[in-house]
Amino acid sequence: MRDTLTDIREKLQHGEYQNEEHVRLALVCRLLFKLGWNIWNPKEVNTEFQPIPSEDRTRVDIALFANKSLPSVFIEAKAIGKVKPSLPDIERQVRDYNRNNTALFSVITDGRFWRFYYSQTGGEFQHKCFKECDILEYAIEDLEQIFILFLGKENILSGHAEEQAKDYLQLTNMQKAVWDCLPHAKRIVQSPPYPSLPQAIVKMMEQKGFSISEEKAVELLKQIPTEPPIPPPPDRPPQPVTPIIPNEPILPLNPENPGDLRFTRVEGTIGAESGRKWKELVDIGIKLAVQGGYDVRSLNAYLPANIKEGIYTREGYSPVKGLDISVQGMDANKSANTLVLLAKKLNCRLELIVSWYGESPNAGKKGVIRWPS
C-alpha cells in the first residue's frame, strides 16, 4: 500500500493525472484494488451507478458494495484542483445521491484532496465530513492508516470504519482541530528544534485560532479515538506475477546514463551511510553535503533537486531529518542523477542496487549504479 501511495504522490507531483478519467481509473480504482475491492466486478465496484433509477441524469462516479445489496460508499471523483473551488456544489450533488439510496460513507476527491462523509448521520451534509487528507502533505504512513481504516473493504464489512467515523463526529470542534493537526505535528517533532508532540500541537492550534496550553493538548490527545491496527490483507483476485529468472546477474549501469529507472526499488550506500528508498538516500546525500560545508544556494545551482531552507510540507516538499531544510520529491531518474552528482561533489563512494517491477519491460531484473564506476 505504501509503495502505491508513494507512486501516486510522485505522479501527482509531476502532473501526470490530467483529467477526471485519469483520477477515477488510474488513481482511485488503483487504491480501491489495494484496499481489497474487486474492481473487475461491477456488482462490487459499480461505475456510473444510478442511485435514483427514475432520474437518468443522476449517476455516482463509483459506488462500492461490500455486501452486494446496499451501497457502502459513494465516491465522486473530479479532475485535479476541481474540488476546493466548487466544494459546496459538489456536496449538494453528493447529498442528492444519498436522498433515496443512502450509502454508509460518501467520498469527494480530486485525487490529491480527499473528504470523507458519514452519510448516515443527521444534519446538513457539509457537517457530515469527519475526515479530510492531502496526499501531497500527509505522511505516507498516516495516509495508509486513513485509507485502510475508512475505505478498506474489511474494515467496512466489520464495522470498524463506521465506529471510528461516529467517534470522530462526536468530538468537539477543538478535538477535531487537534486530530487534523496530528499528522503534520508528527512530522514537526522529527526536525529541529525537536519539540514534543503537545508543543507542536499547541503551535499548530494557534494557527487555527485556538489558544490552548500543553496540558490541554495532552488531554485532547488522550481523547482522540484510537485507530485499530491495520488488518491483514483481505483475499483478492489473483494478480499476475512477474517471473524472476534464477541467478540472473546484476547488470552494471552507466552512472552518467543509467536508462529508464521508472518502476524501480532501490537500496544502497552513499559515503558510509545506507538507505532503502530513493528519498531516504537523497536526504542522506544532501545531509552529507550540508555537513561538508555546502549551502542550499550552491546545491540548488549544482543539483537537479529543488531545496529550500526551512521546514516545508507543501508542493511535494518534505524536511530532511536533522536539518532545517526541505527537499521536493523527485522520481527515480532524477533521484539517481542527484545521487551521482552528490557523490562526485563529495568525492565519496556510491552504490545503488535497483530492482525493476510492475509495468517496466525490465521487471524482475536488477542493476547497479556505482561511482567511481
- In the three-class reduction of DSSP (H, G, I as helix; E, B as strand; rest coil), residue 209 is classed as coil
Determine the length of the chain: 373
Q: Same structural domain for residues 10 and 142?
A: yes
Q: Same structural domain for residues 354 and 262?
A: yes
Mean pLDDT, residues 6-33: 92
Amino acid at 72: S
257 domain residue, yes or no: yes
Q: Same structural domain for residues 115 and 210?
A: no
User: 128, 148, 168 — which closes off a domain?
Assistant: 168
Can you give the residue range of the structural domain that contains 307? 251-371
238 domain residue, yes or no: no
Q: Same structural domain for residues 186 and 228?
A: yes
Mean pLDDT, residues 27-36: 93
245 domain residue, yes or no: no
241 domain residue, yes or no: no
Q: State how far the Cα of 49 lies from the Cα of 45, in Å rounded to an integer.
A: 9
In whole numbers, what is the pLDDT of the chain averaged over residues?
84
Lowest mean pLDDT among 12-21, 77-86, 92-101, 348-357: 92-101
Confidence of residue 54 (pLDDT cuts 50, 70, 90): low
239 domain residue, yes or no: no
176 or 348, which is more confident: 348
Instruction: Please check the confidence at residue 241 and state whether its pLDDT lies above 80.
Output: no
Q: State how far the Cα of 234 lies from the Cα of 70, in Å rounded to an integer.
A: 21
- In the three-class reduction of DSSP (H, G, I as helix; E, B as strand; rest coil), residue 259 is classed as coil
Q: Same structural domain for residues 189 and 331?
A: no
206 or 343, which is more confident: 343
Q: Same structural domain for residues 123 and 209?
A: no
pLDDT digit string, tens, across residues 267-301: 999 988 999 999 999 999 999 998 888 889 989 88
Residue 259: per-residue pLDDT = 92
337 domain residue, yes or no: yes
Residues 6+ apart with CB under 8 A from 229: none
Q: Same structural domain for residues 135 and 176?
A: no
Q: Same structural domain for residues 8 and 78?
A: yes
Number of domains in the chain: 3
339 domain residue, yes or no: yes
In terms of Cβ atoms closer than 10 Å to its own Cβ (0-12, 13-18, 19+), residue 263 is middle
Lowest mean pLDDT among 41-45, 122-126, 222-226: 222-226
Q: Same structural domain for residues 19 and 116?
A: yes
DSSP string, 265-313: EEEEEETTEEESSHHHHHHHHHHHHHHTT--HHHHHHHSSS-EEES---
Instruction: Please check the confidence at residue 243 and state whether its pLDDT lies above 60.
Output: no
Confidence of residue 23 (pLDDT cuts 50, 70, 90): very high
Q: Are 94 and 125 in contact (CB under 8 A)?
A: yes
Q: Same structural domain for residues 96 and 200?
A: no
Residue 231: per-residue pLDDT = 46
User: 168, 193, 225 — which closes off a domain?
Assistant: 168
Q: Same structural domain for residues 226 and 259?
A: no
User: 115, 150, 168 — which closes off a domain?
Assistant: 168
In terms of Cβ atoms closer than 10 Å to its own Cβ (0-12, 13-18, 19+), residue 221 is middle
Q: Same structural domain for residues 74 and 135?
A: yes
349 domain residue, yes or no: yes
Q: State how far the Cα of 83 lies from the Cα of 115, in Å rounded to an integer.
A: 10
To which residue does cell 543509467 refer? Answer: 258
DSSP string, 66-113: SSSSS--EEEEE--TT-SGGGHHHHHHHHHHHTTTS--SEEEEESSSE
Geometric angle at alpha carbon 3, from 26 and 178, rounded to 5°: 95
